[in-house]
Chain A
Amino acid sequence: MLTNPSPISYQNLSMAMKRKPEEKEESKTTLMGPPKKRMTENKKDDILNPSRRVASYIEMLKKKREEIINV
């Protein structure tokens, strides 16, 4: 039985942080119609995503840890 989920959640998040999302170039115009208007942009989605927000905290803390270790 899993009693401590922290190692799994930490490792999962680390893996997700290593894998950066691929940026795809999408055509802004369709062949037969007017240009598409997207409701939300990907960047806005990223900010709304809680895991992204957690990842930004972890990146900041990791940088500080590296600074401490390297000094």
Chain B
Amino acid sequence: MFNAPIPGQSLTHELGARPWQQPAQYTTVEDALDYYIPRIDSDEVSEQLINVLEMGIPVTTIANTMQLGGVMEGKHSVDVGMLILPVLVELLMLIGDAAKVDYVSGLEKEERLDSSLIDLAVTQFNEQQDKNVNDEVEIKEVETPVEDRTGGLMSRSM
């Protein structure tokens, strides 16, 4: 946690010193995929990928990490990375299917609620209940006895 970069640390280097601050090496979707596909398809990488998929790491997470690495190395821009993401996901699922791995795609909808969301809902519910109780007390205090009117609407007031 304490090894994280401090705010503004990225500005301590000269502009253009980092690979992602240089013009991208591959500027089109085709060029970027021509860079990725042979590497992913190689025996060495595909074996490692299968191991990672067997560990239960979602395909989408792996694909995102790969494209993020490409951006950091200055291989392609963030825009091209976003465009090739679905292709990388599909390619990784193809490798998983070919190896008959029971992988987690990461595209499943989350049915489990986050515990922080539950806590927030309970807190809001309690606050709302307290507010309702206070309002009722105030209403009771404001209520005044209504005078009994004996006559009709058109009769003289007493």
Spell out A's residues near B (CB within 8 Å): 4-7, 9-11, 13-14, 50-51, 53-54, 57-58, 61-62, 64-65, 68-69
Q: Can you name 20 extra interface pairs (CB under 8 A) apart from A10-B85, A14-B86?
A: A4-B106, A5-B64, A6-B63, A6-B89, A7-B60, A10-B90, A10-B107, A13-B86, A50-B29, A50-B83, A54-B84, A54-B87, A57-B29, A57-B33, A57-B87, A57-B90, A58-B90, A61-B90, A62-B90, A65-B93
B33 → chain A, closest Cβ, in Å? 7
B100 → chain A, closest Cβ, in Å? 9
CB–CB A69/B83 < 8 A: no
How would you classify the secondary structure of chain A's contact residues: helix, strand, loop or mixed? helix
CB–CB A10/B83 < 8 A: no
CB–CB B30/A9 < 8 A: no
Tell whether A61 pairs with B94 under 8 Å between CB atoms, given A7-B106, A50-B29.
yes
Pair count A-B, CB < 8 A = 63
A7 → chain B, closest Cβ, in Å? 5
Output the nearest chain B residue to A10 by Cβ-Cβ distance: B86
CB–CB A61/B91 < 8 A: yes
Number of chain B residues whose Cβ lies closer than 8 Å to a Cβ of chain A: 24
Q: Which of B92-109 contact A (CB under 8 A)?
A: 93-94, 97-98, 106-107
Most A C-beta atoms less than 10 A away, residue of B61, B83, B85, B88: B85
A29 → chain B, closest Cβ, in Å? 38
CA distance A29 to B41 in the complex (A): 52
Residues of A within 8 A of B94 (CB): 61, 64-65, 68
Q: Which of A9, A11, A68 contacts B97 (CB 8 A)?
A: A68
Residues of A within 8 A of B28 (CB): 50
CB–CB B87/A5 < 8 A: no
